[in-house]
Copies of this chain bind each other. A is one copy, B any other.
């Protein structure tokens, strides 16, 4: 299939490579030097997102921010200028669910379809094709995208209509953020009280406190292994999306707001490129500086 792929970053490159390996013909734009290997591997470099859209019936986006999606779709030489009637836009970026619904309306007005399909699983999941993919859109559009999703992910779900994929990703990031901070606070208190955090973790790991975060990030905290993983900086970005969505929906997210502030403080303290489990480091530092 002729597939447009826009956004060849840390996530996009291995995803695009998997699609090429599966026999698809890729049209890419925004090709940086680091992504030229994809062109060597058989992808066709295009001058702009418009050219990508003219060449392909399915266009996948994997870019950092809501503004990037808007620019790629509707900016000068954007996808919307070259979009074929009946084309399918699949946005796999992690962006605002509210803006997503607006983008989908504008794409629909051009006679094309839109599926939002953000992922979790990181670059390791992108390389291995084991991403979790949380999709929103019409069932028929999802079915059209499904063969591609199955090349990229291991856990593929249509959650609801357009925007539901982004909403699900935001929900995921809210839970992971709050749980990591709670685990960090628990283990920090245990440490300060003279208990062995590893033994505390083992004792509570079978009950209501048990979670993937206690298992993975709890172990990182005990081992002081804070190389990313998923960077505090990127998780902060996701919580910005959460808070923006919450404000526009008039919803209160008090703990999410607090963790977002804590992540911002961690970034200011130079911890932004550490794994999000390094929220623990900030708690320890707060103690040392008497804050």
Q: Which residues of A contact B (CB under 8 A)?
A: 97-98, 120-121, 132, 134, 136, 155, 157, 159-161, 163-164, 167-168, 170-172, 174-179, 181-183, 185-190, 192-196, 199-200, 202-204, 206-214, 216, 242, 245-246, 249-256, 258-259, 262, 283, 286-287, 290-291
Residues of B contacting A97 with CB < 8 Å? 193
Contacts A189-B167, A200-B168 given; indicate if A209 touches B255 (C-beta within 8 A): no
Residues of B contacting A188 with CB < 8 Å? 251, 253
Whether the pair B204, A134 counts as a contact (CB closer than 8 A) is: yes
Task: State which of B155, B187, B207, B251 has its C-beta within 8 Å of the C-beta of A189.
Answer: B251
Residues of B contacting A157 with CB < 8 Å? 199, 202-203
Residues of B contacting A178 with CB < 8 Å? 178-179, 181-183, 185, 255
Task: State which of B175, B214, B252, B255 has its C-beta within 8 Å of the C-beta of A287.
Answer: B252
Q: How far is the CB of A28 from chain B (nearest CB, A)?
A: 28
Whether the pair A249, B189 counts as a contact (CB closer than 8 A) is: yes
Residues of B contacting A206 with CB < 8 Å? 132, 155
Whether the pair B290, A195 counts as a contact (CB closer than 8 A) is: no
Residues of B contacting A202 with CB < 8 Å? 157
Residues of B contacting A167 with CB < 8 Å? 189-190, 193-195, 200
Whether the pair A212, B203 counts as a contact (CB closer than 8 A) is: no
Q: How far is the CB of A119 from chain B (nearest CB, A)?
A: 10
Residues of B contacting A163 with CB < 8 Å? 193-195
Q: How far is the CB of A194 from chain B (nearest CB, A)?
A: 7
A-B CB contact pairs (8 Å), 10 listed: A159-B196, A167-B189, A171-B190, A172-B186, A172-B209, A175-B186, A176-B208, A185-B253, A208-B212, A210-B212
Cα(A185)–Cα(B203), bound, Å: 27
Residues of B contacting A183 with CB < 8 Å? 175, 178
Q: How far is the CB of A254 from chain B (nearest CB, A)?
A: 6
Task: State which of B168, B200, B203, B287 has its C-beta within 8 Å of the C-beta of A251.
Answer: B287
